[in-house]
């Protein structure tokens, strides 16, 4: 069933356009604006260009989704297969199925919302032209990662996003941005070198780099020892990008230093590339190798769940001087731990849960980083003690809509039933209860229990954040320092009221509502109607785990 009947050739064009258009838009962003399109100034013209290009890509992705045959989500659709480097057997092979289509839509949506937000709230830094060009290159690389079906093309697309994200952090970030950017690039590049060796090993031993053919073969052309080595090498590169504990330490620094839209794209899109690689490459192509490492992957995943939650609790406690952006970054380590746990079960239930949790994390954490960025813009800090103090946010009383949306995003993140975060975590835990044949059931049930304990820790730190930031902490006026007694200046984001009263905050602005409402709405829709997403992923996952057989 398709919503709109679109011919295969048009579907091919749409997918190719989605991948290539941002790259062409990045080149155009660096050129002088044509007369008549410059607006009030060149900066406004290039920002409008970014919104236009990302908007066109989003529209194309939506049209592609409406033309997608939802009765056959396990079949690769909108495929293009052209020989590129015959000597190496590398082909320009594109296609989407029920696994990649949701990630493609998520990437197009988040990038458009970031471009829209940046049009009104551009981060401080160098040329807006360079900023928009980097965002568009980043979008092109991410979309290509989810659309290509050749191992070497996957690697090129996977690496294509590193340089744009490095410069977004290093040039438009906050304090310690250069150190954070270097840490990001070093970790990911070192992981990628090892991953390339694993991809080459698979291609050379099997005689093809075609991901569809390799998935259909289901590892039968590779010996167990080759699969084990390939999973170890490729898994390290993917685990760094995910990020999996203990290869996660670049993430909190990168998020803390990155501009708001950089954090949104990093959490909402880039982290998904690593887990997508596990599902698309390792599960179907090297199943014996994955079965060998699955218990270790699950163990690292649950350690990451508990570690990330404990780190968040430490940052959230009173007097810890914890950074709210850093706390949300550590929460991502825990949430991505659930994704890895679902993948490690090697069952349809667990893998479907992992894919659902991927999308839910992109929506919810993207919204959280938007909100934290807005709070930091208003107060000039993301320090939790400052935000919770008498001169802090206390958002319910000073910016009620902003406070309500932050509370909504927090309870969605902790997995409240009826919202998107619930289903992914529940399905991954169900998958761990009954892992695939050949995996230790007692071990995975232990992992399930640890993961369930992690959900309680997640609820604890998220509720602490809501209580402290949204409700504030009462401090007698006599105990405040002179600086704390002084409200922000009239020309700042806070508006002083009567003498001695706390400053008022600007509530949600129109452009902020436009950028945030889709994420909140989709979080509710995915939570109330999970079958919409699971109906896409489940047939494709079943086929993937069955070795290409529907």
pLDDT of the residue at 492: 43
- Tokens at 43, concatenated: 């900066």
DSSP conformational letter for 383: B
β-sheet bridge partners, residue 90: 85
Ramachandran area for residue 383 (φ above 0: left; ψ -120 to 50: alpha; else beta): beta
β-sheet bridge partners, residue 285: none
3-state secondary structure (DSSP) of residue 419: coil
- The dihedral built from the CA positions of residue 410, 316, 169 and 189, taken in this order, carries a sign that is negative
DSSP conformational letter for 323: B
d(CA 305, CA 338): 7
pLDDT of the residue at 251: 87
pLDDT averaged per 10 residues, the chain (length 550): 79 93 91 64 82 94 90 87 81 90 95 93 85 94 93 91 90 84 88 91 88 85 89 91 86 87 90 92 90 93 93 85 87 92 93 94 93 86 76 71 91 90 92 89 93 92 88 55 43 43 69 92 93 91 75
d(CA 148, CA 141): 10
CA-derived radius of gyration, the chain? 23
Distant-in-sequence, close-in-space partners of 531: CB < 8 Å, separation ≥ 6: none
Residue pair 312/327 in contact (Cβ under 8 Å)? The answer is yes
Helix (H) or strand (E) holding 289: helix 287-316
d(CA 85, CA 107): 28
Helix (H) or strand (E) holding 495: strand 494-495
3-class SS shares of the chain: helix, strand, coil, % to 5: 70, 5, 25
pLDDT of the residue at 479: 44
Q: Tokens 């099997």 map to which residue?
A: 206
Task: Give which of 136, 139, 117 is closest to 377, Cα–Cα.
Answer: 117
pLDDT of the residue at 319: 76
Task: Give which of 99, 173, 126 is closest to 543, Cα–Cα.
Answer: 99
Distant-in-sequence, close-in-space partners of 38: CB < 8 Å, separation ≥ 6: 44, 45
d(CA 265, CA 250): 16
β-sheet bridge partners, residue 83: 91
In this structure, are strands 504-505 and 90-96 parallel, antiparallel, or unpaired?
Answer: unpaired
pLDDT of the residue at 504: 61
Task: Give which of 490, 525, 516, 515 is closest to 504, Cα–Cα.
Answer: 490
User: DSSP strand E in 15-115: where?
Assistant: 77-85, 90-96
Q: DSSP for 123-176, please give it.
A: PSSS-HHHHHHHHHHHHHHHHHHHHB-BHHHHHHHHHHTHHHHHHHHHHH--TT
> Which ranges of 173-286 does DSSP label H, i.e. alpha helix?
177-206, 211-217, 224-241, 250-257, 260-265, 271-277, 283-285
- The dihedral built from the CA positions of residue 325, 426, 76 and 282, taken in this order, carries a sign that is positive
DSSP conformational letter for 33: P
Distances (CA, A) of 167 to 24, 133, 187, 260, 262: 19, 11, 15, 14, 10
Distances (CA, A) of 516 to 51, 58, 117, 352, 495: 15, 16, 9, 26, 24
Helix (H) or strand (E) holding 520: helix 510-528
- Tokens at 527, concatenated: 């939570």
Ramachandran area for residue 319 (φ above 0: left; ψ -120 to 50: alpha; else beta): left
pLDDT of the residue at 487: 42
The pTM score is: 0.90
pLDDT of the residue at 548: 55
Residue pair 1/70 in contact (Cβ under 8 Å)? The answer is yes
148 backbone dihedrals φ, ψ, rounded to 5°:
-80, 150
3-state secondary structure (DSSP) of residue 254: helix
Angle at the Cα of 350 from the Cα atoms of 458 and 363, rounded to 5 degrees: 50
Distances (CA, A) of 172 to 160, 383, 428: 19, 20, 37
pLDDT of the residue at 40: 64
């Amino acid at each position: 069933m398709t919503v709109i009947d679109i011919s295969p050739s048009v579907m091919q064009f749409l997918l190719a356009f989605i991948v290539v258009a941002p790259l062409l838009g990045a080149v155009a962003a660096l050129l002088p604006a044509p007369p008549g399109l410059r607006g009030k100034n060149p900066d406004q013209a290039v920002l409008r260009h970014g919104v236009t290009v990302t908007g066109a890509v989003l529209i194309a992705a939506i049209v592609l989704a409406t033309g997608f045959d939802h009765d056959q989500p396990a079949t690769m659709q909108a495929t293009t297969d052209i020989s590129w480097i015959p000597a190496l057997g590398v082909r320009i092979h594109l296609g989407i199925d029920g696994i990649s289509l949701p990630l493609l839509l998520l990437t197009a949506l988040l990038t458009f919302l970031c471009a829209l937000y940046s049009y009104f709230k551009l981060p401080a830094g160098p040329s807006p032209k360079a900023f928009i060009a980097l965002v568009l290159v980043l979008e092109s690389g991410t979309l290509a990662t989810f659309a290509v079906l050749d191992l070497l093309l996957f690697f090129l697309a996977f690496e294509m996003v590193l340089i744009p994200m490095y410069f977004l952090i290093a040039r438009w970030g906050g304090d310690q941005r250069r150190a954070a950017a270097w840490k990001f690039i070093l970790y990911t590049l070192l992981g990628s070198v090892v991953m390339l060796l694993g991809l080459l090993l698979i291609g050379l031993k099997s005689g093809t780099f075609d991901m569809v053919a390799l998935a259909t073969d289901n590892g039968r052309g590779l010996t167990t020892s080759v699969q084990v080595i390939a999973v170890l090498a490729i898994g390290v590169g993917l685990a760094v990008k995910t990020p999996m504990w203990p290869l996660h330490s670049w993430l909190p620094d990168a998020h803390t230093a990155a501009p708001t839209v950089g954090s949104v794209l990093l959490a909402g899109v880039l982290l998904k590339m690593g887990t997508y690689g596990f599902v698309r490459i390792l599960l179907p192509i090297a199943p014996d190798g994955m079965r060998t490492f699955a218990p270790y992957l699950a163990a690292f995943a649950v350690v990451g769940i508990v570690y990330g939650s404990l780190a968040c609790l430490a940052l959230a406690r009173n007097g810890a001087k914890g950074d709210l952006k850093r706390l949300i970054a550590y929460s991502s380590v825990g949430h991505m731990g659930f994704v890895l746990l679902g993948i490690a079960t090697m069952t349809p239930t667990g893998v479907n849960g992992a894919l659902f949790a991927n999308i839910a994390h992109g929506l919810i954490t993207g919204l959280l980083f938007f909100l934290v960025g807005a709070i930091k813009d208003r107060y000039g800090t993301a320090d939790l003690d400052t935000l919770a103090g008498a001169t802090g946010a206390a958002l319910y009383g000073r910016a009620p809509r902003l406070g309500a949306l932050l509370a909504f995003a927090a309870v969605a993140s902790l997995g409240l039933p009826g919202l998107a975060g619930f289903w992914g975590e529940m399905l991954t835990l169900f998958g761990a209860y009954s892992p695939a044949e050949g995996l230790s059931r007692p071990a995975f049930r232990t992992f399930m229990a640890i993961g369930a304990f992690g959900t309680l820790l997640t609820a604890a730190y998220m509720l602490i954040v809501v209580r402290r930031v949204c409700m504030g902490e009462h401090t007698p006026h006599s105990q405040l320092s002179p600086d704390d007694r002084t409200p922000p200046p009239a020309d700042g984001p806070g508006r002083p009221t009567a003498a001695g009263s706390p400053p008022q905050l600007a509530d949600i602005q129109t452009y902020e509502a436009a950028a945030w409402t889709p994420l909140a709405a989709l979080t509710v829709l995915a939570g109330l109607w999970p079958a919409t997403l699971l109906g896409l992923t489940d047939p494709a996952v079943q086929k993937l785990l069955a070795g290409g057989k529907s």
